[in-house]
Each structure stands twice: as C-alpha cells, then as structure tokens.
Amino acid sequence: MENNNPQNVDQQIKSTVVGAHNTTIIAQVIVNASNQHIDVNAIQDSLIKEIRSSLKEEFVSTEYNILLCYPNKVIRDEATIRIIEELKQKLNDMGAIVYEGGGKAALPKTQIMYPHLAELEFIKTVKCDTVIIFALDEVTLSQLTLISYFKVSKKIDTTDMIIISSDDLKNSDVFLSNGTFQYCDDNNCKLYSLGSLDDAGLNSVISRIENKKIIQRKGGLLGD
C-alpha cells in the first residue's frame, strides 16, 4: 500500500495567536526529526525567532521605555563597565529609549527633586516597561528596595524589574540575601548574577524585556 505521508516529506501547519482584538497567523514548517540531514535545533531556533518577531510586530505598538540604574561613583572593575556598556548597546540596537536613574539626568514628567522619589514618579507617569538595576553599592541597593516595594505595593504590573548583582554582594549579608533580594525573587522580579552576563546572558536580558512587552496587560497580548 502506498504511503501518502512519507516520513521525509515536510508538512505545513499554521499556528494562530489570538489576542484582544488581534489575530496573527504564523506559518510554521514541521519536518521529520528522524532525517539525519536535518538540523532540528537550527529549525527550532529559526521558528522561535519567527514567532517572536511576528508577535512583536502584532502586539508591540509603542517604544520600550527603560529606566537603567547603576552606581554613580566610579566603577573600577573593567568587567562590570563592559557589561553595562554592552547592555546599553543592545538596548539601543532594539530601539529602546533608555533613561538613566540615580540623578544622572533629569527624568521627564517628574517634579520631585529627590532622585529616588523622582524615579517612582517616572515609573508611574511614563509607563516604564522595565527597570534595570545594577545593585552594586549602597545607593543602588536603596533604589532596589524602594522601587521594588513601590512596584509590588502599588501593583504596577506593566513595569518589569531586572536586578543584576554580584554573588559576593548578594551573599555577603543574610539581611540582603533573605531580605531585599528574596523579596524581589518572591514577587516575579528577575535576578541575574553579574558573572553570568556574557553575550548569551545579555541576550537573555533583552529577551526578557521583549517578552514582557509582548504580554503586558495594556495593549499587549493580554489586551487592555
């Protein structure tokens, strides 16, 4: 009997992504994984990129507003400087608007002089998508404590938080590891180890920002 669906024949299917008032059709190609000449991992990676690109095009209609916080004092560790600069470049490449916290520059739509309180006003009024904090000294730890509590207590679900810190600092005191950092982890704020941020790690940070934008409650995949 003739097999009308031979194992080595590619099959076409369509995947439908439905959001509030939106429908996106994404074409996918499913191939037989037993074919030794097919790089299944490459196909999977390609499909993921295509799907994410389609979702971004459909559901991301506004720019990325990022609040980036890192120490004001001179950073002497070359690896840390490189990570901050490379992250800035990747944010720029994705078209994000990056505002620097900690009093480095005046934040738009804020009237408060005290930098940390101005950051809270900024998050609330500018529809900040993501706050990235390099928690590396007493000032940035203060920012982390204040902003994370503000976000959680005010239920600001549309603003994501990414915290980057060294394992040495995080584990240097039980108050920090079981206090501020644990509070963030318990409330869906993403923690990254500074030492993990090679190129793949930085790409993971960018993916987190993009994914959160796609599914944010206001105008994203979840609708209004």
pLDDT tens-digit readout, 161-170: 999 998 888 8
pTM: predicted TM-score of the whole model, two decimal places? 0.73
Q: Which CATH class is domain 65-215?
A: alpha beta
Q: Where are the domains of the chain?
A: 11-59, 65-215
The model's pLDDT over 13-55, given as tens digits with 9 standing for 90+, comes to 444 454 444 444 445 455 555 556 666 666 666 665 665 555 5
Does residue 109 contact residue 141 with C-beta atoms inside 8 Å? no
Residue 140 tokens, joined: 């940035």
DSSP state of 72: S
Buried b (16+ CB within 10 A) or exposed e, 179-208: ebbeebeeeebbebebeebeeebbeebbeb
